Amino acid sequence: MRSLVRLSCRFNGHDLRPLSLAHRLPVQKRHQSSFARINGRRKRIVVAVTGATGSPLAVTLLKRLQELKVETHLIMSKWGGATLKYELEAPSNTALYLESLASVTHSSLDVSASLSSGSFRTDGMIIVPCSMKTLAGIRMGYDNDLIVRAASVTLKERRRLVLVARETPLTSIYLENMLEVTKAGAVVFPPVMAFYTRPSSIDDMVQQSVMRMIDLLDLGVIDGDMEDEARWSGFDWAGKRKQNT
């Protein structure tokens, strides 16, 4: 048994344990909840963060999934961490803070992680934000890190994959990549601002986008806190918005 344990931590003579943070992070307490469950277990979502702009979206999404008692598996690229530090204020701009919002953390370099196999059951994956490099890797099936590998697994297992693609303007190369991953089953979700909600702050726009992401992950929950303010309900012709019913 000991030899099997040693073998599982080594590959071609290299010790793989330093590549993953998961082995040294404490297992967070698993709360009981009626939210986001399937067949008696908590829903399990992979959340990947890459180096495109949009760190507030990742932080807000992880907070909301934590509130919904969803089991989250976080993967963050090197440049995802750098962008996080640049875009947010302390203490919310560190990798450790982001990891504290997730149930489990994996190194992006650890392609031996559980997420690399379709036998590890998940209920979907979201890459937020998704860089154009990551998009290209997914389109080509170039599984050179755990983020792209986990996305490939999500596609091949016919699970929900949401790519919060953040770039503008878009070249024909980017558009072709988006088309091909959509054909493969992914959902491309550019975080486009919705002005019909009459947002009064950046946070309002972030919250509305995150609500839509949760919808796309098909968690079986309705984000009631945001429902009245952030969901379109049509016009009445007296010039006022209809109330949700």
Report d(CA 165, CA 130) in Å as an integer.
5
pLDDT tops 70 at residue 243 = no
> Any binding-site annotation on 105?
no
> Any binding-site annotation on 240?
no
What does the pLDDT read at residue 114? 97
Report d(CA 243, CA 245) in Å as an integer.
6
Which residues neighbour 132 within 8 Å (Cβ) at sequence distance 6 or greater? 52, 165, 167, 174, 177
> Any binding-site annotation on 133?
yes
What does the pLDDT read at residue 236? 67
> Any binding-site annotation on 51?
yes
What does the pLDDT read at residue 233? 77
- The partner residues of 3 in beta bridges, in order of sequence, read none
> Any binding-site annotation on 182?
no
> Any binding-site annotation on 52?
yes
Q: Over the stretch 119-140, which tens digit does the pLDDT of each residue have?
A: 999 999 999 999 999 999 999 9
Q: How confident is the model at residue 224 (pLDDT cuts 50, 70, 90)?
A: low
pLDDT tops 80 at residue 111 = yes
Percentage with pLDDT > 70 across the chain: 76
> Any binding-site annotation on 131?
yes
Selected residue with higher pLDDT from 25 and 66: 66
Q: How confident is the model at residue 213 (pLDDT cuts 50, 70, 90)?
A: very high
> Any binding-site annotation on 107?
no
Alpha-carbon distances, residue 51 vs 46, 54, 74 (angstroms): 17, 9, 14
> Any binding-site annotation on 200?
no
Question: Does the domain spanning 42-230 belong to CATH 3.40.50.970?
Answer: no
> Any binding-site annotation on 201?
no
How far from each other are the two terminal CA atoms of the chain, in whole angstroms?
60
State if pTM tops 0.75.
yes
Six-digit token string for 137: 């890797």
Locate the domains of the chain by residue range: 42-230
Report d(CA 165, CA 174) in Å as an integer.
10
> Any binding-site annotation on 205?
no
Closest CA to 11 of 111, 78, 141, 108: 111
